[in-house]
Every structure is written in structure tokens, then in C-alpha cells.
Structure 1
């Protein structure tokens, strides 16, 4: 607000001093600005009056520094305070405002002021002396919000819950370590695996037009020497085509009237003396831990789990080249009733558990 007084042809102008919102106290303190310390005439939670501060700061309008309250054995420091310089007072001090104090910093200043007003602290030789440290501690603690006290049952339940969560975290960590140990040390997984069988293929002895004696389809049983059909060629004698093996037909490769060349397949047969087995490939480094007769777990695509046994191990070279990955071949016997000729070529998963008998009760609890 600006007032004017006229008289004698002259005019005097002046600004009213801004109203202070907080009472000032002569409690020892100083500010650090640009690496230099400046004493304070007085201060409040809203601002302070600074001795000997260069007037150039009034032109800068503001600066960032530290507000320090010196106790006899320690300093209380509020860092990175933004000082907003307002005016130069008649006594030469420069008044400034604290522009960015946080609630916790304001609370600290209030605690010091209240301790000063209650006589818990006194000023001497520019330092703050604590009459009784217990009184100051109690005064400061009294200003802080206290957590609501819990009842006996509520506190017991809270502690029980914390204990349960702590034990649960430990339990999950132990299970994770055991799972990793089991997977890396005691579980061998095949890189690839599928159903396979040693099929016999009945082929044409000569070229010509083929016709079945009677229809043959997958799943039929054929006998060795059984006439399958005939081959006829223009200007040639017809040839009888017999089955060279006894077994179950797995695939029919031709139809009546097809023109075939010598050696073309007619049917593929699973001999009655042979079985469908699983062929698996494992890393060369794992095969040394395997042995004939060892149980394996076969996981089918339909979700069924079958137990089989290793009946043959075809090892790679004892010293494989280190520049490539080498796999060894396993042949696994499975129950005949667990698969059909339709499964031949179907992909499965194979796992081999090498856990010692004494450790199995521990690993059996793993999910």
C-alpha cells in the first residue's frame, strides 16, 4: 500500500512494512549462503533477519543455502532452504522469507522455539545450551504424533501375522532352492523323444500296375507268404506279390490300379516279434549317469504319464568335438497296452529322476 502526504509543494512517498505472520525470537542461529556464514538478528518459522549480507542479494531476489541452529555439542542443520530476500531493514539487516520448508522442517523449528519458551534451553555466547537433555527429548517427543496403542489381542494377532509372513517367505525361498537343485542335479530331461518301431516294408519286385487280391487297411494282420496282390505290365506275365513278414499293417502306400516301379513300397508292417518303443536323445554329458534298466517317466501329449525302462544306450564318440553339441540315443521299453500303431512317430517328453533314495522324501514335497 502506498500513501502520499502533500505540503509546501513537496511530496513524500513511502511503503508500509509488510505484516509479519510469525513472531520473531532472538535464538542463536546463522545461515550459510554461497559457502559463507551470516549471523541472524532473529528468526521465526516464516523467515529471518540477516546481519552483514551483501545488498547484491536483494537484486538476486533469492538464494539457496543452509539454516543452522548451533547447540553446545552439535548443530541442527536444515539443508537447501530457499531464502527469498524481501527488503533492507533500518538496522542494516536484510529480511528474508523461507520459501520451501517441508512440514517436518517446520516442526523442528517449532520444537526449538517451544523448548526455548519453556526454559528447557537457554542461549549463551551465541550457542544454545540444554538445561536437561531429558527435558528437551521429552519436549520434542511430545510434539510428534504417537501411533495409537493396540490392545493385547490385536497386538498378538499382528505379531502372529508378521511371523507367519516371515516363515512363508523363508519357506518359499527354501522350496525355490530345492526345486533348482532338483532340476539341475537330479533330473535329466530328453532333448527330444518320440514313439518308434522297426517296421518292415513290403516292396514291388518289378514295375507294373498293382491291384490288391483283397482290400488291406491299417491295423490288419498279414501273414508271411500271404498274397497281397498282383502286378501286371503290358506284354508281360503277371507277378504275384506276397507278404514277406507276419505282423500288423501300419501304413498302406498304394491303391488299386497304381502304376509302380521296381522297389516302390506297398505296405509297412510291424513284425509280430517287434514292439513299439520310445526313442529319446539326451545330452552326452548326462548319459554317463544313466544305466540299462533304469526307470524313466514318459509324458504323452494327451496328458497320460507312463513308466518305462531303458533297454539300450547308444553312446556317441567318447571324445566328441567340443565345437558342437553331441547327443546320445536311448531306447525305452514301454508297456504294450500303453500305445498303438497310431502313436508311431508321435512326440513325447521323457524325464529321468536320479534322486538318491534318502533324498526322495524331501523332493517329493516339491510342487
Structure 2
């Protein structure tokens, strides 16, 4: 049954038609093509059982008498008229290599270049021919604006990928650095060297502070202790100091030797004392920089001023000697007196 082949778009042709002896084999049935284009085919008297299918698979066969060349293809139905049996379809999912080969076969056939099987195999196996033809055929024409937009998107994509790569490298590097060279405290607090004022004997404490001013002068009466056996003993400030802590209230009983007040001379520096695992102490040196994070969220730069072994008097409930050392640090900025005795976190850089 002779088949009449036309361009896939009769009224608006977009591709040149070729009169090359070609056979289209679909679902086991063969159709001889007289003329066709690189985008698709159209046929009359097309079998209805094939025409109703959306996708057809098969081969595009170039017949060179003594040999033929087949290209696997998929065709998507564009239209099918059941009354006239007219069918049209377009090539889809054509691989780059197959597309390049089809273009070469057309050009070579029209120019008479292919004359034997050896010529065909030589051309098909030539990577340079395929790449040259493929690059030319797949090149997309763009306007100046489209080209600028396309290049901008490419550059933006490269920047995003590069940024992600840099962030990953930085994160990995910082993680390794932190694990090896940064020591974090087990516990830290703001401290100030102070004088502890204790109860001179058993009795009831009565505060004598006239106001809430933390400054006390030498000889000022801070409190009195009314003894159990009668009598009164006074507690005076031994210096011009800051009253940093009050541990009792009026009317509270205090045993002899119990700490009642903590005072510090005004020029006494405020320091950070951090408890560090013994296994990390060997990494730390005097002068190492550190970052202090106070409980209120404030961050400060600091440096290590001294390392003191854990005191054997600081036993835990099992009676074991502490497994930490105390590192003393000073800050570059001044610490508000209100932060004394507040907790902090210390990160010491040992690199």
C-alpha cells in the first residue's frame, strides 16, 4: 500500500523536507517515506490501531541497497483523523548522538559522500565529526536580552555553588579547628578577690547598714551579733571596700565562724575563674586568648592569667579529688560589678 508522506506542518513549515529513501518502522510495521523532515513525519492511510496511540517507538532506517543504517526513535502523535486516516507525529527524546548522526546521514547522502559501509562506519566512529555537527545543530539562537539574562543566570548559579562550597569548607575547617584547638570550660563564674567577714561567736545577727550603698569605710559598723549567752559583738569593715555579698538577714542565727559578708577593695580586679578538665590543661598556656560569654549574653575578649590545680578541699560527695583545674582569666573590657558571682562560659583558643 503506497504511502504519501508530507511535512508535519503543511501550512507553517519549519523544517526542510528531504527526499531520501527511508523506511519508518513502527511497532513492527514498516512504512516507506518519500519525503520527511528532521522534526517529524506525516502520513495518509495510517493504520487506526497505531494512530490512536500517543507514543510510538521504532526505527528510522536509511536503506543503502547493500546495507542499511537504523536509528532508534520515539514519535509523539501530533494529530490523527480517523475519517481521513491522516496522521502526523514529531520525534521526541532523540539522543544527541542520534540527532547528530541523522544530520550527517542527510548531508552525506545529498552530497554523495557515503558510498560504502566502511565510509559510514568511519564517519559514525569519528568523535570530532559528531561533536562538530552536534554543536552546530543544538546551538540555540537568543536575542541580546535573552543572552544577557542567560549569562547572568549562569554566573549567579556559579556564585551560589561557589558560596556553598566555601561555606562547607569553612564549616569543616572550623569544626576540625574547634575540636583540636578550642577548650571549653566545664563551669565558669565572675569573681573578685575578697575578704570574708565571719561571725565572731554564736548569736543572732542584726544588720547595721544605713543604706544600700555598697561602699563601706574602714571602721564602719556593718552588723552586730547578739550572743546566746548575753552580750553583743560588732562586725566592722577592715578597709575602705565594696560590700560585694551579704549572706545573712537580720534576726537570723549564725554559728561562730560562719561567713556573713564578703568585701573587696575598690581597686581589686574582677576576674573569670573557669574549671577545665585536667586532660585539657596541658593544651593551655599563659597568655592564650579566650572568649567569655556572660550569663546576660554579653561577649568579651580575655586572656589566660594563671592555672591553678583543683583544691583537694573541694571533694565531691564520694570523697574523690576533683578532676579539674581552675584557670584564671582577665578581660580587656571592664566587667560590671553586678556580674560578680554570675555564671559564664569560657572558650580558650590554644592554637
TM-score by length of 1: 0.55
Shift of 1:41: 1.2
Name the structure 1 match of 2:72.
77
Name the structure 2 match of 1:360.
none
Shift of 1:98: 1.2
* Per-residue Cα deviation, 1:309-348 (whole angstroms, up to 9, x for no partner): 23313299xxxxxxxxx97342315379945643322344
Structure 1 residues 275 and 202: alpha-carbon distance in aligned structure 2, compared to 1, 3 A threshold: farther
Shift of 1:308: 2.9
Structure 1 residue runs without a partner (length 5+):
1-16, 149-160, 317-325, 356-367
In 1, are the aligned partners of 2:61 and 2:70 still within 8 Å (CA)?
yes
In structure 2, C-alpha distance between the alignment counterparts of 1:129 and 1:336, rounded to whole Å = 83
In structure 1, C-alpha distance between the alignment counterparts of 2:282 and 2:341, rounded to whole Å = 27
For the aligned residue pairs, the C-alpha RMSD in angstroms reads 5.8
Between structure 1 and structure 2, the one with the greater Rg is 1
1:331 and 2:327 are equivalent in the alignment: yes
In structure 1, C-alpha distance between the alignment counterparts of 2:91 and 2:311, rounded to whole Å = 77
TM-score by length of 2: 0.57
Say which is worse superposed, 186-195 or 332-341, in terms of deviation: 332-341
Structure 2 residue runs without a partner (length 5+):
9-16, 143-154, 313-321
In 1, are the aligned partners of 2:245 and 2:261 still within 8 Å (CA)?
yes
Shift of 1:303: 4.4
Structure 1 residues 190 and 305: alpha-carbon distance in aligned structure 2, compared to 1, 3 A threshold: same
Q: Report how many aligned residue pairs link the two structures.
A: 300
In structure 1, C-alpha distance between the alignment counterparts of 2:333 and 2:137, rounded to whole Å = 82
In 2, are the aligned partners of 1:204 and 1:266 still within 8 Å (CA)?
no
In 2, are the aligned partners of 1:202 and 1:244 still within 8 Å (CA)?
no
Q: Work out which of the residue numbers 30, 33, 45 in structure 2 matches 1:42.
A: 33
Name the structure 2 match of 1:353.
349
Name the structure 1 match of 2:316.
none
Shift of 1:184: 2.4
In 1, are the aligned partners of 2:5 and 2:33 still within 8 Å (CA)?
no
In structure 1, C-alpha distance between the alignment counterparts of 2:60 and 2:4, rounded to whole Å = 25
Structure 1 residues 228 and 297: alpha-carbon distance in aligned structure 2, compared to 1, 3 A threshold: same
Shift of 1:116: 6.9
Name the structure 1 match of 2:145.
none
Shift of 1:249: 1.7
1:297 and 2:290 are equivalent in the alignment: yes
